[in-house]
Amino acid sequence: MRAALLLYLLVAATAGLAHAENNKVGEVSTAFKLIGPDHKVVVDAYDDPKVSGVTCYVSRARTGGLSGAVGLAEDKAEASIACRQVGPIAIANPLPQQEEVYSERQSILFKRLRVVRMVDAKRNTLVYLTYSDKLIDGSPTNAVTAVPVDRGTPIPLR
């Protein structure tokens, strides 16, 4: 029974990583580990699923070593974000004032990295916030970026 539970936890911990690997822009090693992968800072790209023409780049620490190799390590709660217009901005449907656009597990059970889109209607700007949360004690560490949208393309709100 314990083996089945451990296998389930390992699969759950790595399930969110497959999506992130498809969006990997690059990584740099920050500390050598004799056993397992090195500690790294990784940069991933995420296209906003409801706003074509906007991509967010998120950098964060990835813990290496043996525990990092098997998905048992807890990555630090720090992340940085930069969202940019990478093509013509098109918004097919009205957006909510605030919406989570991306979430990825950072530990087996309790911590997630989140990216939330907010609409600043007065300035016709999309604001993106990244933060990490925990089930018991959330992290105040966060980063914010904004993508101004041309006034000729008003952001439709729900």
Encoded tokens for 110: 């309790």
Count of CB atoms within 10 A of residue 148's CB? 13
> In Å, what is the CA distance from 144 to each residue of 50, 128, 131?
19, 6, 9
Question: 24, 43, 56: which is closest to 126 by C-alpha?
Answer: 56
Distance CA 111, CA 39 (A): 18
- State the burial class of residue 104 (Cβ atoms within 10 Å of its Cβ: 0-12, 13-18, 19+): buried
pLDDT over 90 for what percent of the chain?
41
pLDDT tens readout for residues 4-49: 333 333 333 333 333 334 588 888 877 665 676 666 888 999 999 9
Distance CA 91, CA 88 (A): 10
pTM of structure: 0.72
105 φψ region: left (φ > 0), alpha (ψ -120 to 50), beta (else): beta
> In Å, what is the CA distance from 29 to each residue of 71, 81, 82, 141?
18, 19, 21, 22
pLDDT tens readout for residues 73-84: 555 667 889 999
Question: Does residue 111 register a pLDDT over 80?
Answer: no
- Residue 48: its pLDDT value, please? 95
3-class SS string, 31-84:
ECCCCCCCEEEEEEEEECCCCEEEEEEEEEEECCHHHHHCCCCCCCCCEEEEEE
